[in-house]
Amino acid sequence: MEEILNGIDVSEHQGLIDWKKASSDGVQFAMLRCGYGRYESQKDIRFEQNYHGAKEAGIPVGAYLFSYATDNDMALQEAENCLSIIEGKQFEFPISYDVELSSQARLGSYALTAMVNTFCEKVESAGYYVSLYSSLDFVKNHFDMEKLKRYDLWLALWSSQLSYADGVGMWQHSSIGNIDGISGYVDLNKAYRDYPKIIKRAGLNGYQKLSGSSPVPTAGKKLNLVNAPLYSFSKAQNPSVYVNGTYYLYDGKPVNGRYRITNRPSSVEKRPMFVYVTGWIDGDAVNN
C-alpha cells in the first residue's frame, strides 16, 4: 500500500503539547482521544486543548473514544458520549472506536462484533466517517471482520513492517516515537488513504458537501440497475458480482463514493445493517 501521511495519536497522558513544534517535526495528522467510556465525566481533559492547538498549527485531526463497553447498551452510550464531545467540530480524519480490553475479548466474536456495530452505526448515522482501532489479535481472533469490513481498520501492530493489510486505513506502528513538542514517548501512525479529501468531498465530520457535487439521494430511492457492479464493502477494489433489476437505497449516505443498497423497500434503514444491506454500488449508478 502507498503511504500517504505520517501522524500521531495523543491523549491527556502526553500532557501539554507544542503543536507548532510537532508540525515542524513532520507530524501530518493527529488522532485525538476525545474520551474513554460512556460518561460525560470521562472526557479527555486535554481534548479541547489538543483540538484547537493542532488546528492552529495546521495539522488535520481525527478523534477516538477508548471503549470499556461489554454490551450493546454500553456501546450505544459510548457513541452518544462521543457525539456529545465532538459536536460542533470538524475532523479531517475518522472518528475511531478503540476496542482492545481483555474483558471485551472474552465476550466472544458475535457479541463483540455486534457491540462494535452498535457504536459505529450510531456515529456514522450522525454524519461521521467511522473506523475501528484494535490490535491484530482482536482482528484475527475476536472480531467477525466480515461483518465489520465496511469500516476502515486502524490497526495497532508495533512492527517495522505491516504484515496485515486487509481493510487497513491507518497503521499504528510504534508506541515509542519521539516528536518535538511532546514530552516522552508518543504513538506513531501511517495513513494509507487521503482522508481529508474523502471526508470533505462527502460532506462528513462537520464539513459541508463540496459545491458542485451531486445531491445526496434519499433512503428508499428506487433503482433500476443494469449490469451494475456490486461491491462487498465501500472500499473494495473489485466487484463481487454484477446485478440487474430493482433495488433500493438503504440509507442514501455516500461512503467513499458508494452507496448501500437493499433488495426490498421494507429493509430500508432496518437494523442491524449487515443483515439487510445487499452490497455497495458506485455513485454513478445511483445518479443515472
pLDDT at residue 209 greater than cutoff 80? no
What is the rounded average pLDDT of the residues 251-271? 88
Q: For residue 180, what are the contacts with CB-CB under 8 A and spacing of at least 6?
A: 18, 21, 22, 24, 25
Split at pLDDT 50, 70, 90, the class of 150 is confident
**What is the per-residue pLDDT for 210?**
63
**What is the per-residue pLDDT for 254?**
83
**What is the per-residue pLDDT for 4?**
85
Percentage of the chain modeled with pLDDT above 70: 97
**What is the per-residue pLDDT for 153?**
94
**For 231-242, what is each residue's pLDDT tens digit?**
998 888 788 999
